[in-house]
Copies of this chain bind each other. A is one copy, B any other.
C-alpha cells in the first residue's frame, strides 16, 4: 500500500480527534508519513465532527481531499454525509448502537457504544473500540504500535481501560472481517484463519 486514507466521523464529544491522533502517532511508530486534518464549522456546534488521516510510505506533500479506504461513522448523520467519500472498494464501519439506516448493504456494523458501556463500563471508550475495529481491517498494521500510542496519550489511570477497549474493538473487527470474507467468498476457506 502506498497511501491510505481513513476517516473517523461522528459528533463532537465522541473523541474522534483523539482517536485520530492516537492512530496517527501509531502510524509514525510503524514508519509511515502521516497527515491528519480536521474540519470544524459553525455547524459543528450542533455536533458533527470528523478527522481524516492519510498515511503513506512516502512523504505526503499535500493532504488531498480523501477518497476513503476506511470510514468509521459513529452517528447516522455521519453515515449519510460521508459514505459517498469512500473509494469503490472502501469499507464503512458503523456504530450499530447509534446508526439505524444504511445506504449500502455491505457496511460493517458493530455496536461500539453498547460495547463501551457493557463490556468496558465506560461509554466514552466507544472511540477507542472503533479504532480497534478499524485497525483490524488494516492487514499489515501491528497493534503494538497503537497500544504504545494509547499508553502515551492517556494519563496512567486510564491506559488499561483504553487498551482493553482497543483490544475488544480489534477482536470484534477481526470477527466482522472474517464473516465478510466468508459472505463475499473472497478467499478460499483455508486462508480465513491466517
Which residues of A does B touch, CB under 8 Å?
A: 17, 21, 24-25, 27-29, 31-42, 44-45, 59-60, 62-63, 65
Contacts and interface: CB of A to CB of B under 8 A. Distances in A.
Nearest to A61: B65
A41 B28 contact: yes
Q: Secondary structure at chain A's binding surface: helix, strand, loop or mixed? A: mixed
19 contacts: A17-B21, A24-B40, A27-B40, A28-B41, A28-B42, A28-B44, A29-B45, A32-B42, A33-B39, A33-B41, A33-B42, A34-B41, A35-B37, A35-B38, A36-B37, A36-B40, A37-B37, A62-B65, A63-B63
A39 B60 CA distance: 8
